[in-house]
Amino acid sequence: MPAILPGFASPALHYRPRGGGAGGAESVMSSRDNPLWLQLWRDRRTDFHQKKVNHYLARFWPDLARPQGSRIFVPLCGKSLDMIWLAEQGHHVIGVELSPVAVRAFFRENRLQPSRRQMGDFTLWEHGRIGILCGDYFALDKADLGPIDTVYDRAALTALPEDIRRLYVAHLRRIVPASAGVFLLTIEDAEEGDSLAQALGVDEELAALYSEGFEISLEHVESVFESDPQAPKQPPRRAEYKVYRLSGRAAG
């Protein structure tokens, strides 16, 4: 799975747990481990933030037929407007975000007056159907989240460094029920020489990461030629936008 393209990055961009283990104290992060990400929010260098609801979410989410009242987990959520949209569909949304600047901005920019309370290592900000746990994703446990029906991952996985993705998925499987599904949006920088079959198929790395716990269905692929805003003189490059539906093997 190639690195994520500029413009679609998520708050996962600079997450890097301490140590090599999955879970436990060795992999728990603190703000000291993520100074670049936290500084980007303090400096308002957040061009990666989408200023409207992701159109793949609005287009394909209804196909999941999630009942109103479902609990949706949004890992590494930043100040994504997708959380507003999900709440408007009648769902209860719980996000997790490392940067308090991002969390504060989410509620302020959407003119919401949240309550705040401490929950162990996290500060929980809540308003209506939306709650955001401000703290380290890798410090979450099942008790922090409560029952989760679906995970909404808008490029959190693909924004992570490759060596951290396995830890991210392993931790996700520990903190959500085995029956929970994942609605996963990825964007991949297409490699030169990629065949049509490769472009239209399930990414090999993604299959290796998720196949043990999930049935993987690739719902949509869209090839787009995009310019890098950080290198405008470079020729456009091809990106593959993919929409995945992952069903927990324990479902049903």
Tell me the binding residues for S-adenosyl-L-methionine: 41, 76, 97, 154
For 152, 217, 239, 247, 251, the CA distances from 183, given in Å and listed in that order, are 5, 10, 19, 9, 15
- Dihedral of CA atoms 56, 3, 240, 228 in degrees, nearest 10, equals 90
Contacts of 20 (CB under 8 A, 6+ apart): 26
In 3D, which of 194, 189, 193 has the Cα closest to residue 226? 189
Do 84 and 130 form a contact (C-beta atoms < 8 A)? yes
For residue 117, the SS3 value is: strand
Using left for φ > 0, alpha for ψ between -120 and 50, and beta otherwise, residue 98 falls in alpha
For strands 122-127 and 115-119, give the pairing: antiparallel
Pairwise CA distance, residues 19 & 27, whole Å? 6
Report the 10 Å Cβ neighbour count for 178. 11
List, as residue ranges, the binding site. Answer: 41, 76, 97, 154
